[in-house]
Structure 1
Amino acid sequence: MQRVSFVLQIDESNREEYIKRHEQVDPELLQAFREVGIHTYSIFLDGGRLFAYMEVEDFDYAMAELGSHPANIRWQQFMSDLLIKHHEDTTVKVIPEVFHFKP
């Protein structure tokens, strides 16, 4: 199982809209998450910076599969007006884990 974290960015003025859109995520997308091996996925918001955390069987596989899934394509289009691209020309920037505690 992989633990993966990444950052995304929105304009702070879109904060409430971002939260609102996540109150009713398409059930087909949530099912796709399960099918590609995502066990947990959380997003935390601090100002306009989003911190996401995922536990997934294989992150690269899951992202590749989701990349062509119709529900994910619809979701990405729906969210594209809120997400700001990083300098790498992507909205998602994976960040390395530097500490993990599990008793």
Structure 2
Amino acid sequence: MQRKAFKMYLLPGNSVEYKKRHDEIWPELAELLHQVGIQNYSIFLDESTRTLFGYLEAPDISTLDSLPAQEVMKRWWAYMADIMETNADHSPVAIDLTPVFYLA
């Protein structure tokens, strides 16, 4: 299993809305994420900096490269664009984090 960690940024005053939207994640989006092999996907929020920390596992992280082309992913990004920092295509500004320690 390969692991991936990244950070994103929430816009001020949107922590409750961000959680609400993820509590109501669209079934078709959850299905897509499972189809590409994503498991153990968690997002944590540091409210003092509005930094979102994401962590996921997948058998092959390269399968995530197919997500930006999927319509449901594009719709989700557009839906989330008003509450977080995004790129021009509405994808979240996501910064990969470098693994430095792992204890199995």
For the aligned pair, the TM-score class normalised by the smaller chain equals 0.7 to 0.9
The offset of 1:23, in angstroms, is: 0.9
**In the aligned structure 2, how far is the partner of 1:32 from the partner of 1:22?**
15
**TM-score of the pair, normalised by structure 1:** 0.87
**In the aligned structure 2, how far is the partner of 1:11 from the partner of 1:97?**
26
AA matched with 2:53: F
Q: Which residue, 92, 98, 102 being the options, matches 2:94?
A: 92
**In the aligned structure 1, how far is the partner of 2:6 from the partner of 2:99?**
10
AA matched with 2:11: D
| Secondary structure of residue in 1 paired with 2:100 | coil
Q: Which residue of 1 aligns with 2:53?
A: 51
Is 2:8 the partner of 1:8? yes
The offset of 1:70, in angstroms, is: 1.4
Q: Which 4+ stretches in 1 moved above 4 angstroms?
A: none
The offset of 1:57, in angstroms, is: 2.0
Q: Which runs of 5+ in 1 are unaligned?
A: none
**In the aligned structure 1, how far is the partner of 2:100 from the partner of 2:52?**
18
Q: Which residue of 1 aligns with 2:103?
A: 101
**In the aligned structure 2, how far is the partner of 1:25 from the partner of 1:85?**
19
Is the strand fraction higher in 1 or 2? 1
Q: Which runs of 5+ in 2 are unaligned?
A: none
**TM-score of the pair, normalised by structure 2:** 0.86
Q: Which residue of 2 aligns with 1:70?
A: 71
Aligned length: 98
**Superposition RMSD on alpha carbons, in Å?**
1.5
Q: How does 1:16-55 map to 2 (within 5 A)?
A: 16-47=16-47, 48-55=50-57
CA distance change for structure 1 residues 14 and 91 in 2, over 3 Å: closer, same or farther?
Answer: same
The offset of 1:46, in angstroms, is: 0.8
| Secondary structure of residue in 1 paired with 2:56 | strand
